[in-house]
Structures are given as structure tokens and as C-alpha cells.
Structure 1
Amino acid sequence: MPALPPQPISPLDGRYRAAVTALGDHLSEAGLNRARVHVEVEWLIYLTSRSMFGSMPLTAEQTQQLRAFAAGFGDLEISALAEIEATTRHDVKAVEYLIRAELDRLGLAAIAELTHFACTSEDINNLSYALTVKAAHEQVWLPKLRTVVAALGELAQEHKGAAMLSRTHGQPATPTTMGKELAVFVYRLERVIGQLEQSEYLGKFSGATGTFAAHLVADPDTDWPAVSREFVEGLGLSWNPLTTQIESHDWQAELYGKVAHANRILHNLATDIWTYISLGYFRQIPVAGATGSSTMPHKINPIRFENAEANLEISSALLDSLAATLVTTRLQRDLTDSTTQRNIGVAFGHSLLALDNLQRGLREISLDTDALTADLDRNWEVLAEAIQTVIRAEVTAGRSTIEDPYAVLKELTRGHRVGPAELAEFVAGLDIGDAAKARLLALTPATYIGVAPALLAYLR
């Protein structure tokens, strides 16, 4: 059998690439290397702008040329970097040599030794990861989450008055509305979004063991911690003053924990909507040309929600592993984080794919209010809670002498189907006040929804 041409192993780079391609601009090897070039170039510009070690500030044109080189990092640079790394066997050193070559091309060889000056590889790497994760999170993943939450919020508002039988423990329970149940997820996700919007992205820039030792030897008169802070914050990151060779990755663990939390809320949403579809509450809108089953022509399977469910589980497992692994390093440095962090894009990718499926799935369902009404009409016994609660209030107010109202209703309804006529007859014979009796006689499962529609006012 002839060998296949090279094929992607990950479905994110194959079958699902279109849904996650925006992440590749940031959380890919090329995205990481572009960020490395950006950090190295900005450090060069920083040092020369302050005429450090006898250097002269770059002209505006030279500065623009260097920044354009970093911003334009593309196929040619990727190929050139791969050739250099084949010799260096070190990715960050290869980036340094790539920049040195560009300095020669621009006639700036005189400042070549300021490339990667006093830096350990992790000085460049931690800032590059912080920049790429920040961009991927804030520009790609979080906007997609907001889009899904907004769509869910619209559905919640549309169906805020659609009375629906609840199912606590899977059994008929006090009615609610579909809108209120969807709003629960909106509220939960909005709260996590608020936390995610406050995320910190920390960076260190302090040398081989976080002591500025080489820096101080090179220039004893410079306040190197102040320089480091100014440089890191100038990149749009928060400065971490106390580290080993590596930035401790606690901010990453915090972020990935929150993303995993959002994943799990979304997973709950996917399984609930799947169940509502199974109950017939939501109809699935047929997609032209689509096939639900290879043998059963009638089927429309809830694949969007099943796909989302599976990808959220994969993403959360990876994010949990990242958060648990990255916070530990042996003494001042080991390389376990190097391999681990290369999977950040995979973790976000599976979550982004799930969000894409949820977004599509929410567009492909329609509420069947007839099914909701029919289900309510089959379960009049859920009014037992209302009746026994009103009796309790009447007893307390001295308008009834019924003993143990709960037991009375339990005897009537537990394990029994009770219709509207039976309940009306039961209520009519109760020893309670006329106003209370009138309220109960007017009640139906469809109207026993409390203030469910009004609760949506608590959404942002």
C-alpha cells in the first residue's frame, strides 16, 4: 500500500481547521516565533533609545524598519528560522541569529551585540507566551464566548414567558420558563466573563536566575529592576519582580482554571439543551442537504451539542493538566514547561471549536410551545406544592385547622396522576379562606411559574 502524503494528526489542523484558524495567528510555533522576534526587537529599540553602552538612538526610519520586520514575520522568515535552528538546535538562539542577519541587512551591525543582551531564553519565551496567550484569549476566544452568550441571552429573552415543566432529579417538578432556565446559564457565564476580563498576564525579564547578575556586572550604575519593569509594562504586561529563571506561570494556571470553568458551564448547557431536544421541547431545524443517519432518513441528530460536549471535555482536561503542571519547576529551572506550553493552542482550540458548534446549534433549534404545554397538562400534580403551601399560610393566619398539609397532599398526589378536575374538587372542599381558594382554583401548571419572566432583569 503506498504511503499517504503528510497528513495532520490533530483534527484541529485537519477536519476542524476552519473553525479554529484564528488561533493559529497566536498559539502556533510561528505565532510564538513572531512574538519572540517582537520582544527581541523591542529590547534592542529600548536599549538604543536610552543610548546604553554607548549606542546611539535609532532613527525613526530604522525603528520602523525593525518593527516592520517583526510584524511581517511570515513564510520567508519561518523557513529561514528553520534553517538556522537546524544548526543551533536551539529555538531562541535561532531567533537571535535571524535578527542579527536582519541588522546586517539594514546596516545596523554596530548594535548586533545588543541583540538578546543579558537575556536568558526564558526572558524572551515568557514574554512571548504572555503576549500570544493574551492576544488569543482577548481577540479570539473571549469574543467568541461573548457571541455565544449573547445568542443565548436573546433566546432567553424570547422565551422568558414560555412556561415549561421543570424536572428536578429527572422527575416532574414546579414549572419554570424556558427563558429563565437559559438565563441561568447566561448569568453564570457573564460572571465568569467578568473574571476573565480581569485576567493578569505577568512577565519577567531578569536573567538566568532572576537576579540581574549579568546586567549589574555589565553596568553597575543602572537600576535594572526599574528597567525590567518599564520594559515589561511597555509590552502591555504586568511585571513579576520575584522569579527563578522562569516566570512562575501562576497567572497561566489562574487563566486556564477560569477558562476550564467556563467550559464546564458550557458543557452543562450542551447537555441540558440535548435533553430538551430529546424531550421534544426544542425542534431541530433541518439543514438543507444534511443527513442525520446513514440508515434512518427521518433523523436530525443534535450533533452540534454533542460535538461541543466532547470538545469541552478535551479542552478542560488539557487546561487542568496545564494549570497543574506549569506551577511547578525543579529548583531554578527545568524544561517540563517547554513541551507543556506548546499545547496551549490545542486546549484553547478544542474550546473554540465547541463554542463554534454551540453558536451554530443555537441557530438550528426552535422552541415547540405545543410540546411544553402538553407536558404541563399531563402533570397537574405539580400544583401540590402550591396547595400545601397555601394551606400552611392559612393555618398560620387562623383561617384553617387542617393538620399536616404536606401529608394531606402527599397522600393525594405522590405516585399518582391527578387531573385538573380532581384537583379542583379537592381544593373546593378545603377548609381555607375564600380568597386563598379562589387563587388555587385559578392556578394551572402553565401559570404556576412565580416571577420567572421578571428574573431576566438580573442579567447584565
Structure 2
Amino acid sequence: MSDHSVFPDPTYKDTVLAPLFEGTKAHYVGPIRAINRAHLVMLCETGILPGDTGTAIARALNAIDAEVDVAALTYTGEVEDYFFLVEAELRKRLGADVAGALHTARSRNDMDHTVFKMALRTRADTLLDEMTILAAALIDTATRERDTLIVAYTHGQPAQPSTFGHYLAAMVEVLLRDIARIEAARDLLDHCPMGAAAITTSGFPIDRHRMADLLGFREPLQNSYSCIAAVDYVTGLYSAMKLAMLHLGRVVQDLQFWTAFEVGQLYVPNALVQISSIMPQKRNPVPIEHLRHLASMTVGRCDAVVNTMHNTPFTDMNDSEGEVQVAGYQAFESASRVLRLLTALIPACKIRNDRVAATMDAACVTVTELADTLVRTEGVSFRQAHEIAAHTSRAVIAAGQSLGQGYEAFRAAFVAETGRQTVLDAPAFAAAVAPETFVRVRDRFGGPAPAPMDAALEGYTTTLSDIRARHADRTTRIAEAETARDAAFQSLAQE
């Protein structure tokens, strides 16, 4: 069969190759340069390439970096992609034989996944940094609001008193677990694919550990087939990101509910409120709505990447590369906006004590402690105590009273249930149903009382400090690798 067509087909060029080229320009030039330099150093150190060849290639790479304005390039189809553009530039300067030596013992397969990991680790480290900043802001705010009473809701209804600090501490715990999940996914980015070549490594005496060191990875990824086939470094990271945004979105939904006029528990300051164009009485805390949709958009973007891997072959394939990688970066962008906006919003908000007190009075949210107090002081069963508390709450609600005003209703309910008088006098009853009492006596591990809250906040601070130390270690390793790589490369260029 005769075929006189010439690569690339114009439509293929416009729909696939040109967008891929633009993606490389935007995201991968730096990692590709780093890999070229590290690979050349390793080839010369192992004796795979003679020193004079290495020096010639190093000087040519320096010239390409200085002379080629990558940002100004447009895709013409003369070469397939940026990789071949660099190789073509080397040929112009060195000739085909010397220029082609740089590609000894490597493939675009191991290069691509190394490039993608380098791009993702930068984004993952930024994400983790922003998550730790949010966690620190939440811990500080929880400390400040440790004793600030709120109404805790279950099933959308007022349930029990708690504190804003206790609520935020719950948020901190989930966030720290989400950070741990993303750190575990980040760990997969610390294993270098270089040296896997196409699939099976190489017959040349390459030093994979040296390549990993020069590129700032902790170690090589061991199995060479896994280096080019396993995409769990992608699916794991985006799955962990999705969970973090999903969990934060649930808190955002609470914030929306708390700011509703009918609830009014949370006050958002004017700096974060927009007005209506026609209704002057309205205060619209629209940043909360933006948080909700940004978190949901991030979840969707993460799903798009993970779902693209579904039912793909366990081998090197474009489904995990190029445009899919670039599309995933939008998830980091929207996640960053969520984290930064939450970090600004939550510390700025205040609890409206008057609305909290009104809801507590109207909904009898402290009645659980009345039942508990009866069990402890009157020797009745909890079921009996529950009935007495239920009769009391129904009576005061019908009378339009707060629970603290319901001593006579309580006394009547107690007699009706037990056939005797209660030992609680009116002041003891009022103390039992006070929200401050409710919180204070819940001093068990994990409760909202001051002692367990202080212990919890101290533990969160320690955990956060450990996270930041690991983050600093990763940052230092990458920076030191860059310094060592550039020094070795420039030394080679000067020989």
C-alpha cells in the first residue's frame, strides 16, 4: 500500500500536537532542562559518555537555554514536540552523532513521568503549605473561641450547646487527616522514574540513584515497568485532594446555614459581605457561596483526572500524560482559592451571642444535662430522667419560656414520674440547665470543656509542627539537589 502522506496531518497538528506543545511551554520546560542536565552529568560520571562529548553537549544546552525564547515559540509541525525541538537544536550545533548521545539509556517514557512528577510535587508542596496555613489559622481561632458558646445542630435542628472552639477543633482534626492523606500521595512523587527507559531499564551501566539525587527525589521508583505504567501517583494525589475539598465543603455548608437570617449564629464582617443592588437591608455573605462552588469545582476537576484513568491499559499511554496532566492543574488553582479564602474568612467571623442565647432558650438545648443531672443526683434511671426532661421542655416551650424559667414545670413533671419531690431547688435547677454548665461538665477526652480542649489544641499544634518540619525537609532536599545539579553541569561545561 503506497502512502504519500506527510506527518503531521494538519488536523492532528491543530487538535493534538499544538495544544501539547503549548502545555509543555507553560509547565514543563524547567523540568525538561533539569532532566537533560542531570542525565548528562550521570552519563559522564558513569563513563557511558566520554568527557569531551559531555562538555560539548553541556555547552550546547547552555547556548540553547540562552538563545531560544521558548515563550515566543509557536508550533509549526517541523518537529513533533519540545523534546525533539531541543534535539534538533543540538543537531544544529553539534551534528547528529554528538547531539543524539544525550538520549543514551533513556526514553521519552521515563522522561515524561519524571517531568509530570516534578510538576506535581511543586503543586502538591504549595497545596500542603496552604493547608498548613489554614490549619494554623483554625487552631488560633479555636484557641480564641475556646469558650464561645454556640448551638450545635444535628439533622438541621438545634441539638446541644457546644463552643465555637470545639467545632473548629473538629474541623482541624479532619484537615490534619486530609493533610496526612495528601502527604502520603506526595510521597509517591518522591520516587524517580528515570532509568526505566522505555519499559525495562537499559543495558548501559546507568546510576538510577544518582539521577534521583540530582533531581531532588528521595530515591528511584524500583520496578521499571511500574515507572511507566503505574499512574497511582496521579490517582492517589487527586483522590486525596478531592477528599480534602469535599470535607471542607461540608463546613462551608454549615457556615452558610449559620449565617441565614433565621439562624443568625455567625456574623460575617462587612469586608466579606456584598449588598443587594435593590434590597438595601440585605447583607449577603457571598464569599461563602464562592467557597462552596469552588470546592465543588475542585472535586469535579479531581474526578475528571481520576476517571480518565478508568479502564486504561497497565502500560505507557497518553491517557495519563500531556493534556490530562495539564487539565488537573486547574484543580490545584481552585483548591488554592478555597484554602486562601477560608483562611481569611473564618478568623474574621464572630459568633452572635444574642442569637445563640435566643436559640438555646427557644429550643431547650440544655435539657440533656437536666436528664443527666437527675440520674446523678436523684438516683432515677436515665429513661425516667428523659421522660421528666421531655415533659419539662414541652411545658416551657408551650408557655414561651426558657428552660431556665421552668423550675415549676420540672418539679411537677418529677412528681408525676417518680411520686416524690425532687431534691433540686430552683437555683440548682437553673445551674443544671445553664449552657455554661453543660459545656463545663463535659470534660472528658475530646469534649468541649476547657481542659480537654487545651489538650487537643496542644496536640494539633504538635502535629502541625511535625508536618511543617517534613515540608521543610522536602523543600531543602529539592533546593540542594538543584544547586548540586547545576554545579556538576556547569563544571562539565567548563572542562
- Where on the TM-score scale, by shorter chain, does this alignment land: which range? 0.7 to 0.9
Q: Please give the residue correspondences for 1:180-329 in structure 2 after superposition, counting only pairs within 5 Å.
A: 180-198=166-184, 199-200=186-187, 201=189, 202-207=191-196, 209-212=198-201, 215-216=202-203, 219=204, 222=205, 224=206, 227-237=207-217, 238-242=219-223, 243=225, 246-278=228-260, 279-287=263-271, 291-326=274-309, 329=312
Deviations 1:145-199 (A, max 9, x none): 2222222222221111111222211212111011211121012112222343342
Partner-residue secondary structure (3-state), 2:283: coil
Deviations 1:234-253 (A, max 9, x none): 32224223226724121222
The equivalent residue for 1:147 is 133
1:349 aligns with 2:333: yes
Asked whether the 8 Å contact 1:163–1:175 carries over to 2, the reply is yes
1:374 aligns with 2:358: yes
- Measure the CA separation in 2 of the matches of 1:353 and 1:327: 28
- Measure the CA separation in 1 of the matches of 2:79 and 2:24: 21
- Measure the CA separation in 2 of the matches of 1:273 and 1:115: 57
Q: Please give the residue correspondences for 1:24-103 in structure 2 after superposition, counting only pairs within 5 Å.
A: 29-56=25-52, 76-80=69-73, 82-83=74-75, 86-98=77-89
Opposite residue 355 of structure 1, the aligned amino acid is: L
What's the CA shift for 1:208? 5.5
Asked whether the 8 Å contact 2:249–2:295 carries over to 1, the reply is yes
**Relative contact order: is structure 1 or structure 2 higher (C-alpha 8 Å, sep ≥ 6)?**
2
Deviations 1:45-79 (A, max 9, x none): 221233323344867x9969957976x89x81233
Distance 1:239 1:116, change over 3 A: same
Distance 1:110 1:173, change over 3 A: same
Which segment drifts farther, 362-371 or 347-356? 362-371
- Measure the CA separation in 2 of the matches of 1:111 and 1:387: 86
Asked whether the 8 Å contact 1:175–1:445 carries over to 2, the reply is no
Deviations 1:336-391 (A, max 9, x none): 12232121211111111222322333355333222222322333x22321222233
Asked whether the 8 Å contact 1:28–1:345 carries over to 2, the reply is no
Distance 1:368 1:391, change over 3 A: closer
Partner-residue secondary structure (3-state), 2:41: helix
Distance 1:67 1:403, change over 3 A: same
Asked whether the 8 Å contact 1:43–1:231 carries over to 2, the reply is yes
The counterpart of 1:441, out of the listed 430, 434, 437, is 430
What's the CA shift for 1:438? 6.3
Asked whether the 8 Å contact 1:428–1:437 carries over to 2, the reply is no
Which segment drifts farther, 308-317 or 319-328? 319-328
Distance 1:253 1:169, change over 3 A: same
Distance 1:384 1:446, change over 3 A: closer
Distance 1:125 1:99, change over 3 A: farther
Distance 1:341 1:63, change over 3 A: same
Distance 1:363 1:253, change over 3 A: same
What's the CA shift for 1:428? 4.8
What's the CA shift for 1:443? 2.7
- Measure the CA separation in 2 of the matches of 1:68 and 1:153: 51
Aligned identity (percent) is 17
Asked whether the 8 Å contact 1:122–1:246 carries over to 2, the reply is yes
What's the CA shift for 1:121? 1.4
Deviations 1:309-347 (A, max 9, x none): 111111112212323433754253321122321212111
The equivalent residue for 2:453 is 456
What's the CA shift for 1:42? 1.5
**Structure 1 gaps, min length 5:** 1-26
- Measure the CA separation in 2 of the matches of 1:247 and 1:67: 33
Asked whether the 8 Å contact 2:139–2:172 carries over to 1, the reply is yes
Opposite residue 307 of structure 1, the aligned amino acid is: H
Q: In proportion to residue count, which structure has more helix? A: 2
RMSD over aligned Cα atoms:
3.4
Distance 1:300 1:98, change over 3 A: farther
- Measure the CA separation in 1 of the matches of 2:382 and 2:327: 66
Partner-residue secondary structure (3-state), 1:30: helix
Partner-residue secondary structure (3-state), 1:378: helix
**Structure 2 gaps, min length 5:** 1-22, 415-419, 461-495
- Measure the CA separation in 1 of the matches of 2:103 and 2:27: 19
Deviations 1:194-237 (A, max 9, x none): 3433421133234564112xx31xx4xx2x4xx22431343222
Asked whether the 8 Å contact 1:250–1:327 carries over to 2, the reply is no
Partner-residue secondary structure (3-state), 1:246: helix
Partner-residue secondary structure (3-state), 1:167: strand
What's the CA shift for 1:44? 1.3
What's the CA shift for 1:444? 3.6
Partner-residue secondary structure (3-state), 2:103: coil
Partner-residue secondary structure (3-state), 1:86: coil
Opposite residue 240 of structure 1, the aligned amino acid is: L
- Measure the CA separation in 2 of the matches of 1:426 and 1:354: 49
- Measure the CA separation in 1 of the matches of 2:381 and 2:314: 75
What's the CA shift for 1:404? 2.6
Opposite residue 32 of structure 1, the aligned amino acid is: Y
Distance 1:253 1:183, change over 3 A: same
Partner-residue secondary structure (3-state), 1:358: helix
What's the CA shift for 1:33? 2.4
Which segment drifts farther, 162-171 or 199-208? 199-208
Q: Please give the residue correspondences for 1:401-440 in structure 2 after superposition, counting only pairs within 5 Å.
A: 404-414=384-394, 417=397, 419-420=402-403, 422-428=405-411, 430=414, 431=420, 434=423, 439-440=428-429
